[in-house]
Structure 1
């Protein structure tokens, strides 16, 4: 393996032994699922890859036989084998074996660090597809909205407006967002896992728009569904991604995401994995995306 990014789910397993209240560790498990690397060996039946190819690893391997797989929504496969989701080991290691069909060759101009960012980028691609984001859409992203440092970074890499909603009740915060942007957002993408943000999104989203839930909030959230129904705001879930890797790689290769690598705030060798995780957890460190290089 080469670079592997630390995800919030990795931190939850490391600190609490479970993620989303559903996936629970029962035995020791290797973490990591945001990875890229160089092929060092292939099986006798592999035709799409050869030794020396650089690849981004799509961590989920579905059965490809069940109904949702046949419908193309293989991310919902009940028999999914996903890196670093119990009991499947992740790819935070020097050598890692993975089915060739889910190893995506990287173009020459896409380096391995960008390859490791393909996994979280695929989540963004899937979220935009679920929300119906298109050219000209006004999109509200909830995720960094009580942290001034992260909001400043979001502004630096391309956000048109940023608002710190700390201390504001949801309807008031929603109105401030609408006033600042000059219109209600067509699509809200909730990435924080906060019930507050889901409520904020319901109040802020334009009637007939949609809210995409990327973050994982409480199991039984208290949100104003009646308001959402009255506004005909569609609430759509996101679980990982399907058929998004090639699009994500193409976006990077085409140069449409020139600021992508700015997301990498810290880099560590494999021997300093514990330090890397502590950095990813620390608010004082100002971490955005922490990368561990398994080749170092």
Structure 2
């Protein structure tokens, strides 16, 4: 089998997406060749699109974005067993760890220092993302889909995995136990999915907060939360740490009052924005002995009221991507345990020619008709 030419949506600079033809070799012995059918856009994709960087990670060569993806197998590597066939429908787990370091061997492969993650510029050469017609991917990191699970739903398995992993991070102290009260800061796709996982874990109250009333209303209406609270941004942007902490305390007071535990707070708080003031709010809004899970990716250096956490024994737990989550995610979507999951996808664009429009829409909160924008999908037609 020889190499073939495929088309890809390639980011060459700030908001500079082009359709390029690239050469795709045959799949390696342990690889599958996959026609990509669906890619949903993530916040990190948008950062690269708008800034050609993600925090201190700089893009140094053209790169195809996209990593929340699914597709269909079109060719099977020579060394793979009969477990794989042309026509298999798969969800893609797009992070490839080294599998040899102590971290990988301990099961925490998401923390592997040698991780190569599609659409991330952290590794060089960059590992191109899934906004391509066809890709080669190791079979080990492809997950077969039940026939009734759509490609769009399968793409959401990636952000759902983030939510599964973050809720698992509370298991060490039982903060997310049946009957618990959960606070979620940030009602984007990941925040909504964290709410869904909190519900499946038995939480009795799931309170979600955002500056966007449309998103909190959506969360409650579609069953991702039991209560939504809008916390508007301050009239004046805080400049000093004292001003920031004052706003965080005020926001936390509003949230804990809603929780019904003034002076205490939620059993588990999931901070899904990465914003400094929101992380500060999360510390103040979590009950003594509870857990604050840092899910959102924010600026590398933040000023936090650590003593407020230490003196109340609030555990601050990091959560980075995911590991060992796809089987659980597939079971959840296969059984329909999140009934309105696909409603998170509010807009769909078809073909590589519309990828630029998809990125423009994903950067907005509402479309021209006033409809809410949450998750945008790029759907690829069958060849």
| TM-score scaled by length of structure 1 | 0.96
Provide the C-alpha distance between the structure 2 equivalents of 1:226 and 1:294, rounded to a whole number of angstroms.
50
Is the CA contact (8 Å cut-off) linking 2:365 and 2:374 kept in structure 1? no
- Secondary structure of the residue aligned to 2:135 is coil
Structure 1 position 172, deviation (Å): 2.5
d(CA) in 1 for partners of 2:366 and 2:336? 32
Match of 2:140 in 1: 101
Question: 1:114-263, aligned counterparts within 5 Å?
Answer: 114-132=153-171, 133-144=176-187, 145-158=210-223, 159-167=225-233, 169-183=247-261, 184-263=265-344
Q: Distance in 1 between matches of 2:304 and 2:117?
A: 30
User: Higher relative CO (CA 8 A, sep ≥ 6), structure 1 or 2?
Assistant: 1
Q: 1:182, 1:81 → 2: CA distance?
A: 44
Kindly report the root-mean-square deviation, in angstroms, between the aligned alpha carbons of the 2 structures: 1.3
SS of residue matched to 2:293? strand
Alignment partner of 1:278 is 2:381: no
1: CA distance, partners of 2:298 / 2:157: 24
Q: Distance in 2 between matches of 1:198 and 1:96?
A: 38
SS of the equivalent of 2:316 reads: strand
Distance apart, 1:167 and its partner CA = 4.6
2:24 equivalent in structure 1: none
TM-score, normalised relative to structure 2: 0.75
Aligned-partner Cα distance in 2 for 1:46–1:196? 50
Give the aligned partner of residue 265 of structure 1: 346
Contact 1:20 1:216 in 2 (8 A): no
Deviations 1:29-85 (A, max 9, x none): 000000000111110112232111110000101111001000000001111111001
- Alpha-carbon distance in 2 for matches of 1:76, 1:6: 23
Change (3 A) 1:167 1:62: closer
- Structure 1 partner of 2:46: 11
Give the count of matched residue pairs: 295
SS in 1 for 2:64: coil
For 1:150 and 1:278, the matched residues in 2 are separated by 19
CA distance in 2: counterparts of 1:167 and 1:90, whole angstroms? 34
- Aligned to 2:230, the other structure's residue is in SS state coil
Name the structure with the higher strand share: 2
> Following TM superposition, where does structure 1 have runs of at least 4 consecutive aligned residues deviating by more than 4 angstroms?
none
Q: Is the 8 A contact 1:161 1:181 kept in 2?
A: no
1:135-160 CA distance string (max 9 Å, x none):
22211110131111111111112211
What is the match of residue 76 of structure 2?
A: 42
The structural deviation recorded for 1:284 is 3.2
CA drift at 1:182 = 2.2
More displaced stretch, 181-190 vs 7-16: 181-190
Residue 3 of structure 1: how far off its partner (Å):
0.7
